Structure 1
Amino acid sequence: MCAHHVHTDYRVLATHLPGWQPAGALDTLRLAKDAFPDLGKYSLDKLIEHVQPDLREALGARHRATFDAYATAQLLIATASCYDTWDQLVAAAMPRGLPGAPEPEGNPTLW
């Protein structure tokens, strides 16, 4: 699954689909912060303005699910060009604590 601030979408889907678990989760917010560290703001609107993806095929309007999902997909595609490999992209975009996230190295403890 891919979303802008994926934790929010993950929580909503997991609540409404008991037992559902995606193979992995990519967060375009995390990805954008890594790819464009000097941007300052990382809202979907700011990223659309910065990246200028082709949204002519997007259905609906901004802040509607269909449009925002399409815009997020286009941002993922556009931002992917900032990385040499899929593994680099995943390392930047996959948040800890969600399915598919790499396990912390070593012996993690609370302290």
Structure 2
Amino acid sequence: MDFGTWPRLFVVDVEGNGANPPDLVEFAAIPIEAGRPVPQSGCSTLIRPPRPISAFATGVHHITNHAVDGAPRWESIAQAVQEDLQGAWIAAHNARVDYNVLRRHLPDWQPAGVIDTLRLARTTYPAAPGHSLDALLAYTAIPLTGISGQRHRAAFDAHATALLLLNLAGHYPTWEALATVAIPPGMPGHAAPDHEEQTLW
């Protein structure tokens, strides 16, 4: 795999407050450059949501209402986030979730394309005992010692997903071959079939 052919890409992860639809309480975006994640060039921030964080959500990501008391509101950082992501591809594990949440929070933004490591892993490792992020990290034995933080926090999960993406990329000869498998149908970057019938309507 020639990583020099990759487009500008951020691996993203979001954490929510447990509301329906969810408000963001944490966001991270880590760029992949020259075949490696570069967290120091990315973004990771807590966000103070308009509604309280539920006890269930706190039990998952361990972010409390007290922890976000001094965090910025989404409205104060949304423009900067959109400028960072503008024109780039994004990748995430079960990417449709992260994509839909970000699109709701950034209605004027559209990524160049969406890579789903869950979809990619199901094709690449069909014999894996599971395809959750935890199951795949265990199956591939990807070293996580260099990642700061903890599982279910946005920066940690984005960094771990970036490492998983690079591991999966080693099974594909080109970016195009990887993208053909990894882009969910109907998502940005997905090409319509060449044989699609052309009509006036």
Same fold (TM over 0.5): yes
Asked which structure has the greater CA Rg, the reply is 2
Q: CA RMSD in A?
A: 1.4
Selected match of 1:24 from 94, 97, 113:
113
SS in 2 for 1:84: coil
Selected match of 1:69 from 154, 158, 164:
158
Corresponding letter in the other structure for 1:107: E
Any unmatched runs of 5+ in structure 2? 1-89
TM-superposed CA distance for 1:104, in Å, is 2.9
Larger relative contact order, structure 1 or 2 (CA cutoff 8 Å, min sep 6): 1
What's 2:171 paired with? 82
| Greater strand share, structure number | 2
1:1-111 superposed matches below 5 A = 1-105=90-194, 106-107=196-197
Instruction: Normalising by structure 2, report the TM-score.
Output: 0.52
Instruction: Normalising by structure 1, report the TM-score.
Output: 0.91
1:81-101 Cα distance to aligned partner (Å, 9 max, x none): 111121111111111111111
Any unmatched runs of 5+ in structure 1? none
| Greater helix share, structure number | 1
**Corresponding residue pairs, total:** 108
